Amino acid sequence: MSDATGRAIRLLDLVPFLRANPGMNIKEIATEFKVSVSEIVSDLDLLMVCGLPGYTPLELIDLSTDEGYVTLRDPQNLEYPRNFTIHELLILKIALSALLVDSPPMLHSEIGSLISKLDHQMPNQISSEGILFVPDNILNLRRIGEEALVKNQQVEISYRNDTKDELTNRKISLIREYESEGEYFWDAWCHLANAKRTFNLEKISSATLSMDPSSIGDLSGESAALTVRLRIRQKSQFFAKHQNILKQTEEPEIYEARIYQREWLVREILSAGETATVITPNDLKVQVKKRATQALSQYQ
Amino acid sequence: MPKSEIFRRVAGYEGTSEAMERMFERDKDELRSMGIEIEVASHDPLFEDEVGYRILAERYRMKPNFNARELGLLSVALAVVGNDLDATGSNIAQRLNSLNVTPINPDEIYLFSPRTIEGNLVALTRAIADRSKIHFEYQKSGSQEKEIREVYPFGLGGWRGDWYLVGEDLSRDDVRVFKLSRISTSIIVDKKRNSYELPEDFRVRDYLIMLKTPEYRTVIKIRNGSGQALLAKHVNHVVEIGEEDDWRLFEIYFEDINDALAAIATYGPDVVVQQPLELKQLLIENFKKLSENHV
């Protein structure tokens, strides 16, 4: 930007700023506009002789300085600040998008309306749908988790339990957050189950910070794991999804896994078709067979 | 004001008349890029040929109007990303602060620390605003090699804390998506403006697979009391269309046939597909194999 343009822009910005912030001293104004004191003094001198045609004192910008403090009484027709440029509109959209992450869901529609308001200012050559940010529940949950850990407070969640096929409301005290394969989990003390549980953030439909302080119970008596033996096709989706819990045996395609909930495994196997088969324990095998046969009967 | 008067009164206009004309055009362009339109009009009713230049206040003043609450949200939004916005952010904040409205800050927001945004976002938004070509070094997912890409930037999409650039990749002659975190250099923006036209009806959403609305339509029946997790997971893409005996009937949209199969099969006999036929056959095959293998 040339010096002349830069100065013209600064003068246009200076008038409404001085009007809205009366009684600032010249040094503060220079700091605000990131120029030297002498440049601001020169700008103020120029503004004092600017005005509308006629150029009598009544039509000039009414501005005075008293011991370094500036007062602007009549801005003539320069009262309003300059409109946003396209670049600034895009920057504001990005800033509001970032705010969506930090704000509770109750504010999302308000922020969304503000984004739409800015979109209406976007000229035709720029798509108003050219910048899009989807309010993401996971990021919002992670912020709530962070806050709960910092403030040492419980979190009240609504959790979708695929294994039990139910939605429950429960209070939890967070122990840690971790990431695995792009998904986020909370290890927490569940006050409903009165035991430690792991929660997949994808399955939490809502979460709010509770006023109750966090409290973690006895972690030593966790439920015993069951070892299962499975035949699994490599390169199958089942293998890709569960490889972190599978331990290869000496036989090809035979794996062992330690699981905590039988129902969870039965449901996972039910969608695996021929790519995963339970070998032991027998009762789990029988359950899969029974459920698959019942499902087949629904299609006959 | 006539041009001759501008040349005489504004500091910096010097040299030959051609040089001053070039400077004048440059200054007009710069002001236009700052949102200030210079109008050309006759300034003397008796001599219409003599044109003058003017800036109308109503053409450059800030639109829209913001109320105190909206100003509060904008101020907090700028504070959230403030550290990464250089002078652009502080200039916007300064003009918002000139509106003579006292912002009401939303107290529902709990801020830990300013959020870091991608370093290249500011340069990218400038390129999109000016419709300028950009180039950068890019490392594709799963590849060790870095390639220089030349791109006309069309738009940006944010998802799960990552930003994605959608633009025309000039060497591939196609619209591609680039994850900003895989851009390994600073983005270089060409000085030339208005280098390309945006495709008609361009929407970022259409290019980002994770933002696409699921389109695989199924009709399924769910036994009363079952499928709660399934319904909750697809809550935005479910329509209840009827009920019969112990069952409720739904239209549910999934990403594709495999997504539908994985979601439905886990419920065994409690969730039954009615349409489409291909999914029904796939499920029958799935349960047959399970039944045969678990003996």
Which range among A163-172, A233-242, B37-46, B69-78 shows the weakest confidence by mean pLDDT? B37-46
Structural domain includes residue A218: no
Instruction: Write out the DSSP string of A74-108.
Output: E-TT--SPBPPPHHHHHHHHHHHHHHHHHS-GGGH
Residues of B in contact with A299 (CB under 8 A): 272, 280, 283-284, 287
Both B220 and B289 in one domain: the answer is yes
- The pLDDT assigned to A223 comes to 60
Percent of chain A with pLDDT over 90: 39
- The pLDDT assigned to B139 comes to 87
- Euclidean distance between CA atoms A290 and A270, whole angstroms: 11
Q: Quick check: B77 contacting A, CB < 8 Å?
A: yes
The structure tokens 């400038």 sit at B126
Domain boundary among B23, B38, B60: B60
**Quick one: tokens of B131?**
């419709």
Residues of B in contact with A3 (CB under 8 A): 12
Domain boundary among A213, A234, A249: A213
Interface test with A, best of B95, B115, B238, B270 (most A CBs within 10 A): B95
Which residues, at least 6 apart from B19, have a Cβ–Cβ distance to it below 8 Å? none
Instruction: Write out the DSSP string of A234-268.
Output: TTSHHHHHHGGG-EE-SSTTEEEEEES-HHHHHHH
The CATH number that applies at residue B262 is: 3.30.70
Both B112 and B138 in one domain: the answer is no
Nearest residue of A to residue B166, measured between CA atoms: A130
Q: Which of A21, A33, A117 faces B64 most closely, judged by CB atoms? A: A117
Q: How far is A215 from chain B (nearest CA, A)?
A: 22
Count of Cβ atoms closer than 10 Å to residue B215 Cβ: 10
Structural domain includes residue A219: no
Both A118 and A143 in one domain: the answer is no
Both A11 and A70 in one domain: the answer is yes
pLDDT at A216 over 70: yes
Contact B198 A91 (CB under 8 A): no
Q: Which of A130, A269, A296 faces B202 most closely, judged by CB atoms? A: A130
Q: Which of B30, B111, B205 faces A1 most closely, judged by CB atoms? A: B30
Contact B62 A131 (CB under 8 A): no
Which range among A56-65, A233-242, B7-16, B243-252 shows the weakest confidence by mean pLDDT? B7-16
Q: Quick check: B191 contacting A, CB < 8 Å?
A: no
The structure tokens 């994605």 sit at B164
Structural domain includes residue A98: yes
Both B179 and B239 in one domain: the answer is no
pLDDT at A103 over 90: no
**Quick one: tokens of A71?**
């007062």
Nearest residue of A to residue B227, measured between CA atoms: A165
- The pLDDT assigned to A128 comes to 73
pLDDT at A231 over 90: yes
Domain boundary among B117, B135, B151: B117
Give the total number of structural domains in chain A.
4
- 3-state SS record for A123-145: CCCCCCCCEEECCCHHHHHHHHH
Give the total number of structural domains in chain B.
4
Going by C-alpha positions, the residue among B262, B286, B293 that lies closest to residue A285 is B293
Structural domain includes residue A80: no
List pLDDT tens digits, range B180-236.
888 988 999 999 988 999 888 888 888 887 777 788 999 999 999 888 888 878 877
Q: Give me the helices (H) in chain B, please.
A: 3-9, 17-33, 57-60, 68-81, 86-96, 121-130, 228-233, 257-265, 277-293
Nearest residue of B to residue A184, measured between CA atoms: B160
pLDDT at B25 over 80: yes
Q: How far is B41 from chain A (nearest CA, A)?
A: 16
Interface test with A, best of B131, B294, B295 (most A CBs within 10 A): B294
The structure tokens 């910092």 sit at A150
Percent of chain B with pLDDT over 70: 90
Structural domain includes residue A79: no
pLDDT classification of B280: cutoffs 50, 70, 90: very high
- Euclidean distance between CA atoms A236 and A216, whole angstroms: 39
pLDDT classification of B10: cutoffs 50, 70, 90: confident
Average pLDDT over chain B, rounded to an integer: 85
- The pLDDT assigned to A127 comes to 73
What ipTM does the predicted assembly reach? Answer: 0.70
Region at B219 (left for phi over 0; alpha for psi -120 to 50; beta for the rest): beta
Q: How far is A220 from chain B (nearest CA, A)?
A: 31
Structural domain includes residue A81: no
Both A181 and A244 in one domain: the answer is no
Structural domain includes residue A272: yes
Report CA Rg, chain A. 32
Domain boundary among A170, A192, A213: A213
Question: pTM to 2 decimals?
Answer: 0.67
Report CA Rg, chain B. 29
The CATH number that applies at residue A198 is: 2.30.30
List pLDDT tens digits, range B88-112.
888 898 999 998 888 888 876 665 5
Nearest residue of A to residue B271, measured between CA atoms: A295
**Quick one: tokens of B227?**
């499928």
Which residues, at least 6 apart from B255, have a Cβ–Cβ distance to it below 8 Å? B212, B214, B216
pLDDT classification of A300: cutoffs 50, 70, 90: confident
Both B184 and B157 in one domain: the answer is yes
Both B134 and B177 in one domain: the answer is yes
pLDDT at A106 over 90: no
Strands (E), B160-214: 162-169, 174-179, 188-189
Q: What is the mean pLDDT of residues B44-51?
A: 61
Which residues, at least 6 apart from A6, have a Cβ–Cβ distance to it below 8 Å? none
Range of the domain at B231: 216-293
Both B144 and B184 in one domain: the answer is yes
List pLDDT tens digits, range A134-182.
766 787 788 889 889 989 999 999 998 877 778 889 999 999 888 776 6
Both A108 and A159 in one domain: the answer is no
Structural domain includes residue A151: yes
Encode A90-104: b = buried (16+ Cβ within 10 Å), e = exposed. bbbbbbbbbbbbbbb
Contact B98 A20 (CB under 8 A): yes
Residues of A in contact with B180 (CB under 8 A): none
Q: How far is A139 from chain B (nearest CA, A)?
A: 6
Helices and strands (DSSP H and E) totals, chain A: 9, 13
Which range among A74-83, A249-258, B50-59 shows the weakest confidence by mean pLDDT? B50-59
Question: Which of B:240-259 have CB within 8 Å of A?
Answer: 258
List pLDDT tens digits, range B257-275.
998 999 999 999 999 999 9
Domain boundary among B184, B207, B230: B207
- Euclidean distance between CA atoms B239 and B252, whole angstroms: 7
List pLDDT tens digits, range B122-153.
889 989 989 999 999 998 876 778 899 999 99
pLDDT at A97 over 90: no
Q: What is the mean pLDDT of residues A269-273?
A: 91
Contact B203 A117 (CB under 8 A): no
Count of Cβ atoms closer than 10 Å to residue A115 Cβ: 19
Residues of B in contact with A85 (CB under 8 A): 33-35, 129
pLDDT at B115 over 60: no
- The pLDDT assigned to A122 comes to 83
pLDDT at B22 over 80: yes
Range of the domain at A208: 138-213
Q: What is the mean pLDDT of residues B58-76?
A: 87
List pLDDT tens digits, range A48-76.
888 777 777 788 888 888 888 999 988 88
Q: What is the mean pLDDT of residues B6-25?
A: 82
Nearest residue of A to residue B155, measured between CA atoms: A130
Both B111 and B148 in one domain: the answer is no
Domain boundary among A25, A40, A74: A74
Percent of chain B with pLDDT over 90: 38
